[in-house]
Structure 1
Amino acid sequence: MADTPHNPVETQVRRASVQERLGELEQEQARLRQELVSLSGELRLPGLFLTLDAAGTSALLAADAVQEVVRLVELVSLPGAPAHVLGTFIYRGSPAVAVDLATLLGVKRQPELDAHLVICKGARPVAVLVDRVRDLVEAPTLVEGTVDGAVSLEWDRSGLMAGLCRTPEGVRPLLRISAVLAGSEGT
């Protein structure tokens, strides 16, 4: 515990630095994956990936970044928070921030009552609001380029996309979890 700063400002600066480095590592990993794809034609990503629906599109999120999936609960709004930060709630005794994935993608909508909160692993609880969690996909194939221009363009512009993956249901954007977690920092 001696390495942990006790000053809240220092903690916030350190957290921002760690998230920035994590984002850089994810970007480098995405570049290296794309390079492998260009050299071999395709690359199967190891592990399980959650299929999420948000903003009219299905996307993949690495299952190892997810702590739990829960139904939408009542959120307490945060005055002055960015539009994509929906509010807070108590998750297992700790305050958590809820971030709307659709709003991060530039889509304004009122969430349905059967929407889900995907609780992401991290230093503090952050939940991503999605319309629905579909299923798990094992070892999707990373593909080069764009397949569906409209889908990939929206995700590309948002900075949330780490690449495109082919699954049995079609091509899906791969979500960069560090970009979502960074979106919660407006609180």
Structure 2
Amino acid sequence: MTDDEVLAEFRAAGALLEGHFILSSGRRSGNYLQCARVLMNAERAGRLARAMVQQLPRELRQDIDLVVSPAMGGVIIGHEAGRALDRDAIFLERPEGTFELRRGFAVTPGQKVLMVEDVVTTGLSSRQAIEAVEAAGGIVLAEAALVDRSAGEVDLGVPFYPLVSINFPVYDADDIPPELAAIPAEKPGSRKQ
């Protein structure tokens, strides 16, 4: 799937938004990719997950024992990646601000894990999720994501395979351009902190 085809999926779902957005990182952008909206259609979610998984090296795909994703954003795409790989998929939650396995989910020590996210911007959530899996004894082989918004600068400590890299301009809250400052800011993501 080409970058244009991936973006066409977002456009078709009304998931490529324009305005003034506060990202989970606290930074600001004039564009927002609403992955929950692009993934609300099961067929589309499956297509995107299969494309994301197919770009992984064959040896890596064969070594994966388990797919893990951070809630909320990674749950649907993680589940669909598990389906594409024919592996179980579980998710981490942060009921108290720190990622943990709940709902009877567990990682067996030595189990080889693919971490799956929807969007990576700074990589903080991904690194925290990877640390939680490693603390449980898992070995995170790599991370796959629908979208890399880091301009290729993110370092997760493991190989990173985004389906598409999108470099929309991102600004610090105290350094936004006047045309963006003139638009009321929205926080469309799942994290309100």
TM-score range normalised by the length of the shorter chain: under 0.3
Q: More strand per residue: 1 or 2?
A: 1
TM-score (norm 1): 0.26
